[in-house]
């Protein structure tokens, strides 16, 4: 017997803080440039907390079942694999065994850098299945669905064929769809392309995998998640094109809430990104490339 969680979606940090004061557990509640809203579990890894690991892997290891008796959460932004796994682990909806911990580490890696190869190597194709079956429904529904998916999939690591066969087939067709999306790719410089996909799944790791065969720097708008991801093929490529710090130079130029690592990151979680943001990121990258080139000469 388990309770249906009470998930609140906050659109401002004040709203999130009010929920926390009532006892709701904040999971990845970052708003723009301000410090993330956290409680004693400290479940964020953005802004001033970017030194911490992603939240899913920490909840499974350190806080398993911590909110099983009080299933109230406050969230914001998109319902990604990391945030939803954190909620599922806090509810003890997944078992913290060796294989699930391995899945959680892969979720963490994927949260920090798109890596489609790892997804396919995981036990039972569970992360691949989660990514295929997640809906990214808006607001609290997305998080509820995502956490339920982890519960269903995570509880069936031994008996996974019912979903993994379907997931593998869908992934294959997604590679084909991603290749097709290249016709929407715009080239800005020899090193930089952008992609605003037709079906709104632009930020699919599969897409990055394919794009890096064409250019080392990419700006992608996922209209489904309403977020921009800026990626470099690897850290060396980012620093060669943009200078020491790589894309960190871009985050500071784009303004509050933009952030990430040297080779990958993107737009604020609480902001619905659009084409204007894509153009701004592209313009800033071209400037940075030119500046770094001028400095070297």
Nearer Cβ to Mn ion, position 5 or 260? Answer: 260
Nearer Cβ to Mn ion, position 147 or 215? Answer: 147
The verdict on 26 binding Mn ion (CB under 5 A) reads no
The dihedral built from the CA positions of residue 71, 74, 79 and 80, taken in this order, carries a sign that is negative
State in Å, rounded, how far the first CA of the chain is from the last one: 67
Taking the C-alpha atoms of residue 75 and residue 30, their distance in angstroms, rounded to an integer, is 9
Span near Mn ion by CB under 5 A; candidates 50-58, 201-209, 220-228, 258-266: 50-58
Taking the C-alpha atoms of residue 280 and residue 251, their distance in angstroms, rounded to an integer, is 12
Taking the C-alpha atoms of residue 71 and residue 159, their distance in angstroms, rounded to an integer, is 28
Order across the sheet with 72-75: list the strands.
6-9, 72-75, 25-26
Span near Mn ion by CB under 5 A; candidates 54-62, 198-206, 263-271, 288-296: 54-62
Closest distance to Mn ion from the beta carbon of 281 (Å): 20
Nearer Cβ to Mn ion, position 54 or 205? Answer: 54
Closest distance to Mn ion from the beta carbon of 242 (Å): 24
The verdict on 36 binding Mn ion (CB under 5 A) reads no
Taking the C-alpha atoms of residue 189 and residue 149, their distance in angstroms, rounded to an integer, is 41
Closest distance to Mn ion from the beta carbon of 45 (Å): 6
Closest distance to Mn ion from the beta carbon of 113 (Å): 12
Contacts of 216 (CB under 8 A, 6+ apart): 191, 232, 233, 237, 238, 241
Taking the C-alpha atoms of residue 192 and residue 281, their distance in angstroms, rounded to an integer, is 11
Nearer Cβ to Mn ion, position 44 or 132? Answer: 44
Taking the C-alpha atoms of residue 243 and residue 121, their distance in angstroms, rounded to an integer, is 34
Task: Name which position in 25, 30, 82, 225 contacts Mn ion (CB under 5 A).
Answer: 82
Span near Mn ion by CB under 5 A; candidates 9-17, 79-87, 96-104, 262-270: 79-87
Cβ-proximal residue to Mn ion, closest one = 82
The verdict on 111 binding Mn ion (CB under 5 A) reads yes
Closest distance to Mn ion from the beta carbon of 82 (Å): 4
Closest distance to Mn ion from the beta carbon of 44 (Å): 8
Closest distance to Mn ion from the beta carbon of 173 (Å): 27
Closest distance to Mn ion from the beta carbon of 112 (Å): 8
Task: Name which position in 5, 36, 54, 257 contacts Mn ion (CB under 5 A).
Answer: 54
Contacts of 56 (CB under 8 A, 6+ apart): 81, 82, 83, 84, 85, 86, 89, 104, 107, 108, 111
Span near Mn ion by CB under 5 A; candidates 14-22, 81-89, 211-219, 261-269: 81-89
Taking the C-alpha atoms of residue 159 and residue 138, their distance in angstroms, rounded to an integer, is 30
Nearer Cβ to Mn ion, position 111 or 262? Answer: 111
Taking the C-alpha atoms of residue 215 and residue 263, their distance in angstroms, rounded to an integer, is 14
Binding site for Mn ion (CB under 5 A): 54, 82, 111
């Amino acid at each position: 017997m388990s309770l249906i969680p009470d998930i609140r979606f906050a659109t401002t940090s004040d709203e999130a803080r009010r929920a926390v004061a009532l006892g709701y557990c904040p999971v990845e509640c970052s708003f723009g440039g301000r410090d993330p809203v956290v409680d004693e579990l400290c479940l964020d890894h953005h802004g001033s907390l970017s030194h911490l690991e992603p939240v899913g892997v920490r909840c499974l290891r350190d806080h398993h079942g911590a909110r099983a008796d009080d299933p109230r959460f406050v969230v914001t932004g998109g319902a990604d694999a990391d945030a939803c796994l954190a909620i599922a682990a806090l509810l003890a909806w997944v078992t913290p065994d060796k294989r699930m911990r391995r899945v959680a580490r892969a979720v963490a890696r994927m949260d920090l850098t798109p890596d489609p190869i790892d997804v396919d190597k995981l036990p039972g194709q569970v992360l691949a299945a989660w990514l295929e079956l997640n809906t990214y429904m808006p607001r609290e529904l997305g998080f509820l669905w995502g956490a339920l998916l982890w519960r269903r999939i995570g509880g069936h690591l031994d008996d996974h064929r019912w979903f993994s066969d379907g997931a593998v087939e869908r992934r294959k067709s997604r590679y084909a769809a991603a290749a097709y999306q290249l016709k929407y790719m715009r080239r800005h410089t020899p090193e930089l392309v952008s992609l605003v996909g037709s079906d709104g799944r632009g930020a699919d790791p599969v897409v990055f995998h394919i794009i890096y065969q064409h250019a080392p720097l990419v700006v992608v708008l996922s209209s489904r998640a309403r977020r921009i991801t800026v990626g470099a093929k690897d850290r060396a490529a980012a620093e060669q094109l943009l200078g020491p710090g790589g894309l960190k130079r871009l985050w500071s130029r784009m303004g509050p809430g933009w952030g990430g690592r040297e080779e990958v990151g993107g737009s604020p979680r609480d902001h619905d990104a659009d084409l204007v943001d894509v153009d701004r990121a592209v313009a800033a990258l071209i400037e940075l490339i030119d500046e770094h080139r001028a400095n070297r000469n």
